[in-house]
Amino acid sequence: MNLAELNKVALAMVTPGKGILAADESTGTIKKRFDAIKVESTEDNRRDYREMLFRATDAMSKYISGVILYDETIWQNAKDGTPLIKLIEQSGVIPGIKVDEGTQALPACPGELVTVGLDKLAERLKKYYERGARFAKWRAVIDIGRSTDGREIPTMTAIRVNAHALARYAALCQAAQIVPIVEPEVLMDGDHDIERCYDVTQRVLNQTFRELRTQRVELEGMVLKPNMAVAGKKSPRPASVEEVAEKTVRLLKSCVPAAVPGIAFLSGGQSDEEATAHLNAMNRLGPLPWRLTFSYGRALQAAPQKAWSGKADNVAAGQRAFAHRARMNGLASKGEWAAELEKKAA
């Protein structure tokens, strides 16, 4: 393992002014997104849609540091035969790959999940590296609420098992000269308040870093992708932008060692503008021990998906919508975003 090289890639992934495009929806998830815009989820449509994003060259080169791909996409060619991964590289953007294989029910923990995909991971990482991937992603999912038999979740069992798998994955990535994005996502579904999200996320992050240390993962060669501290979507007490920013930064300072080069948040179902406003407010609270940026899926893609709606005539409009969100989040990664900038562009 060449740690200096891993650290260089990790720092490039969190370059100020840039962030990560999470375009790694599994076939099931992209179908859900396409259903919402009434587009059939065929291999060609998925290719056309992602090609549209990757060919938004100006936005890609200015505001995007890395793209997380799904297995299908990393092997796919653009309509003219150019590998999609080449389009990404041509904009100076680093290609990455989602390597987890989704979730399964966790035995003896009703309603809780464990992320799977460690078997044969070393061999798969080797192939992805040869294809050009320089970072990877593994997402663990922790739900807050009640289990199917009425008990409070998450259990410490689910937190431990998922943290263990995240660290196993991260260690394998580094051995394969690939920077791991470590993503323990505490979901924002439910009616819990921001304090409950804070407490659960703190337990999850502490356990994750304990496992990373135990399994000798080099913190300088990874990127953390956490949720923010937010109230549940159905909470009667939604938190303000300032409260989310203040609590999230306090939480991260208490759990994330300064050796980690950067933190790239998931959007997790926040609205586009909320995700941008939260990131911006956090970066205004600096100086911080690590760089804070975005690794958004929905908050970067909802607008371009709607503008595109599966029609070749709408490609330019889709690219404009993507470029706008990428620019707004790029500004937020430096604490330079303001709500007026949204209106000006609209």
Query: Which residues are designated catalytic?
Result: 183, 225
Q: What is the closest distance, in whole angstroms, from the C-beta atom of residue 182 to ligand 13P in the complex? A: 12
Burial of 71 (0-12, 13-18, 19+ CB in 10 A): middle
| Binder of ligand 13P out of 111, 297, 304, 330 (CB under 6 A) | 297
What is the spatial distance between Cα 329 and Cα 211, in angstroms, rounded to a whole number? 31
Which residues 6+ apart lie within 8 Å of 120 measured at CB? none
Number of neighbours of residue 257 by Cβ within 10 angstroms: 13
Q: What is the closest distance, in whole angstroms, from the C-beta atom of residue 216 to ligand 13P in the complex? A: 25
By CB under 6 A, residue 196 contacts ligand 13P: no
Residues 20-39 that bind ligand 13P (CB under 6 A): 22
By CB under 6 A, residue 266 contacts ligand 13P: yes
Residues 102-161 that bind ligand 13P (CB under 6 A): 139
Burial of 235 (0-12, 13-18, 19+ CB in 10 A): middle
| Nearest C-alpha neighbor of 285 from the set 327, 252, 257, 239 | 252
By CB under 6 A, residue 93 contacts ligand 13P: no
Select 113 or 266, whichever has its Cβ closest to ligand 13P.
266
Burial of 233 (0-12, 13-18, 19+ CB in 10 A): middle
**Strand spans (E) along 168-284:** 179-186, 223-224, 262-265
The tokens for 216 are 């000798």
Amino acid in position 186: V
Residues 306-345 that bind ligand 13P (CB under 6 A): none
Q: Which residue's CB atom is positioned nearest to ligand 13P?
A: 297
| Binder of ligand 13P out of 268, 304, 318, 330 (CB under 6 A) | 268
Select 6 or 279, whichever has its Cβ closest to ligand 13P.
279
Number of neighbours of residue 148 by Cβ within 10 angstroms: 11
Query: Residues 219-248 vs ligand 13P: string with x where CB under 6 A?
Result: ------------------------------
Select 223 or 254, whichever has its Cβ closest to ligand 13P.
223
| Binder of ligand 13P out of 134, 192, 298, 334 (CB under 6 A) | 298
Pick the piece of the chain touching ligand 13P (CB under 6 A) from 246-254, 263-271, 312-320, 328-336: 263-271
Select 27 or 254, whichever has its Cβ closest to ligand 13P.
27
Tell how far CA 135 is from the center of its chain: 12
Select 262 or 268, whichever has its Cβ closest to ligand 13P.
268
DSSP result, 295-333: EESHHHHHHHHHHHTT-GGGHHHHHHHHHHHHHHHHHHT
| Binder of ligand 13P out of 299, 307, 323, 332 (CB under 6 A) | 299
Helices (H) and strands (E) in the chain, counts: 14, 12
Q: What is the closest distance, in whole angstroms, from the C-beta atom of residue 101 to ligand 13P in the complex? A: 13
Q: What is the closest distance, in whole angstroms, from the C-beta atom of residue 183 to ligand 13P in the complex? A: 6
**Residue 270 DSSP label:** -
| Binder of ligand 13P out of 267, 276, 329, 333 (CB under 6 A) | 267
Q: What is the closest distance, in whole angstroms, from the C-beta atom of residue 298 to ligand 13P in the complex? A: 3
Q: What are phi and psi of 263, to 5 degrees?
A: -125, 125
User: Do residues 289 and 219 touch, judged by C-beta distance below 8 A?
Assistant: no
Q: Which residues bind ligand 13P (CB under 6 A)?
A: 22, 139, 183, 266-268, 296-299
